[in-house]
Structure 1
């Protein structure tokens, strides 16, 4: 069979994956496109292998240890993403958060029961090669040794069973990253909504002139950015923070300067209220 390299296969898939955004409103369509491409590519390789065979044992081992598992792992991954997203709730973020957390817990359990703690998993992850001639050449599956039932569903002429195990390892690793990414997106949205909700619940209940006093006090005391900020910026910040609209900050300030009594009534009140609170706290 003509040489098929793992780097060429990775390059072909990577080129197509450049268009995969993993955006929640596009991922179902993107997964379908990747599934179709990977299925067709895997089918073409199968026909080539069955028709031409391999030129050497090393070529066969390379194919079943690296090339086919990479393709099959991607196919399993996108198929699982498609199924997960097709069934995902579209209502409250908290419901979505529970859904993806459950999927992640299921994946961790599957990974623990099926993959981790097995001799083959240790062999593969430690990059050993001394049993490659057993694991990655067809015709070595012992159906009486208690292998997983999935072996009865695979084509023994196009699988060593262990190529499927590697594909499962690769798909689990990629799916774990995907689910954590989705949870991160949801958590950020929840935090943003909470921040927005908290901001909207705080309103200014004193007079507008009182807020103007506070604005100018912060400005003249250089309390923000070491004084490197102008009146308008401070005014806009506090108006947004407290959900209030000041009609004219500058004119309000000039009117404050002509008051017959204290020109800083609100700031005086703040000082008095704070001192009284301090006194009460000692009782």
Structure 2
């Protein structure tokens, strides 16, 4: 497997595992678990690079421009989230909001300080790729606020900053959602709009349903995380499914029944509905047709 395919495979695996790590209630355990996941993935990439190297310049550019940074960005993300939550004021809503606003200011300042390269990243530019994302491109990035010492065998002059761009964009979205929730903004509006809807079935059935929606990429063309889907369904239907990874593990361990018993039952009942003579007439419309 070449490095491009390996990096994509590892990123997909670690992204899903990272969501599970971030569902852990203890912040320090979140951090330890997240760091371990990313470090193992990076170690695998380093070993493969040492053994086989790159087949061409295009593969090297892809690896250092996207392959490695998207994995390393997860390490930055989990570290920054821990730092923000660990320094959050314990009491006082306004103090907590001020703390989160200050983090947004820090992120925006970082983007401004590295504006040229950030725009290069945002626009998907390629004309300087051979300088920024090959190891032969040099180790000097003049005019940028943050250029750490890098391992010349496993880094280029710009791959670390691309990792931070990816991480900080995700972190900014996370902070904005947190602020909105603490202010009782749109989240409360949506909650009130659906306040009469309540999931009365087993929570594990909800988990099974959401996994089905996620795996079939029915929302936003699949460009949504599993945790975001779980949060949405949990809020709308007023059910606590925060421990969905554990519930999914329980689903996988089922032996005396179908592992997807709820989805199977749903499919059976929908098929029966279709086969019934009044399948296409909604209940509230039956009187119109003399039923």
TM-score (norm 1): 0.58
Offset from partner CA, 1:131-180 (integer Å, 9 cap, x none)? 3222211021254x636585452111111121112111111101101111
SS of 2:20's partner is coil
Residue matched to 1:91: 91
Measured in 2, the distance between the counterparts of 1:149 and 1:131 equals 19
Q: Is the 1:32–1:82 contact (alpha carbons within 8 Å) kept by the matching residues of 2?
A: no
Measured in 1, the distance between the counterparts of 2:59 and 2:150 equals 21
Q: Mind listing any 5+ residue stretches in structure 2 that lack a counterpart? A: 189-291
Change (3 A) 1:182 1:78: same
Return the structure number with greater relative CO, CA threshold 8 A, min gap 6: 1
Residue matched to 1:106: 106
Residue matched to 1:122: 119
Measured in 1, the distance between the counterparts of 2:32 and 2:76 equals 12
Give yes or no for the alignment of 1:141 onto 2:138: yes
Kindly name which structure, 1 or 2, has the bigger radius of gyration based on alpha carbons.
Answer: 1
Measured in 2, the distance between the counterparts of 1:149 and 1:183 equals 28
Measured in 1, the distance between the counterparts of 2:31 and 2:18 equals 10
Residue matched to 2:260: none
Change (3 A) 1:148 1:10: same
Q: Is the 2:139–2:157 contact (alpha carbons within 8 Å) kept by the matching residues of 1?
A: no
SS of 2:135's partner is coil
Offset from partner CA, 1:168-218 (integer Å, 9 cap, x none)? 1111101101111211221129x98xxxxxxxxxxxxxxxxxxxxxxxxxx
SS of 2:137's partner is coil
Residue matched to 2:14: 13
Measured in 2, the distance between the counterparts of 1:107 and 1:168 equals 10
Change (3 A) 1:188 1:22: farther
Q: Show structure 1 runs of 4+ deviating over 4 A.
A: 20-23, 25-28, 147-152
Residue matched to 1:157: 153
Change (3 A) 1:152 1:188: closer
Give yes or no for the alignment of 1:60 onto 2:60: yes
Offset from partner CA, 1:97-118 (integer Å, 9 cap, x none)? 111111112222222222x2x1
Offset from partner CA, 1:33-77 (integer Å, 9 cap, x none)? 112211221122123223332122121111111111101111111
Measured in 2, the distance between the counterparts of 1:121 and 1:7 equals 22
- The root-mean-square deviation of aligned C-alpha atoms, in Å, is 2.7
Q: Is the 1:60–1:136 contact (alpha carbons within 8 Å) kept by the matching residues of 2?
A: yes
Offset from partner CA, 1:14-37 (integer Å, 9 cap, x none)? 3213425568x5454323311221
Task: Tell me the number of residue pairs that the alignment of Structure 1 and Structure 2 aligns.
Answer: 186
Q: Mind listing any 5+ residue stretches in structure 1 that lack a counterpart? A: 193-283
Offset from partner CA, 1:251-275 (integer Å, 9 cap, x none)? xxxxxxxxxxxxxxxxxxxxxxxxx
